[in-house]
Amino acid sequence: MGFKTTALLALAFAATGLSAGDLPANVQAKFIKILASSAGSAGKVACKDAALAGELAKVEVTADGGSKVAWASSEGEVKALKGAGKLVICGKLEWLPAGGAIAIVEEGGKPQIYLHMGNIAASGVTLSDAVLKIGKKL
């Protein structure tokens, strides 16, 4: 991503006064399951986070490193997974400019989905229209 795009995203976050928080792992897992299904990876997500992998198993999603859809637990992991060509789902808005395609965060006590359209396109994964309609596009 170019400097100009990164700067514009940073300004967008600052201008909107976004203060997103982390969602509990069990809530994240439910959203990840829906997003993975929407992306054509039903039942499989690349995930190295042991706690989240346990929650994913509870909703019948297998942690599979070969999946085109991945969960990232750190900014470094976001960059590595984007470099591997995966659709990267994360829990921090700040990680979208680093390569995250989708951020699932808590805002005002409710889960919110943010979509980075450039990173979604770069992953080569197509999301369903339903997800594109409910997510906030950046």
* Rounded Cα distance, 13 and 116, in Å: 12
The H or E element containing residue 87 is strand 87-90
Q: What is the pLDDT of residue 20?
A: 45
8-52 pLDDT per residue, tens = 334 333 333 333 458 899 999 999 999 999 999 989 999 999 999
* Rounded Cα distance, 123 and 88, in Å: 8
Domains of the chain: 19-137 (3.40.50.2300)
Instruction: Give the burial string for 26-49 (b: 16+ CB within 10 Å, else e).
Output: eebbbbbbbbbbbbebeebbbbeb
Whole-structure pTM value? 0.83
61-73 pLDDT per residue, tens = 999 999 999 999 9
* Rounded Cα distance, 103 and 98, in Å: 12
* Rounded Cα distance, 98 and 80, in Å: 10
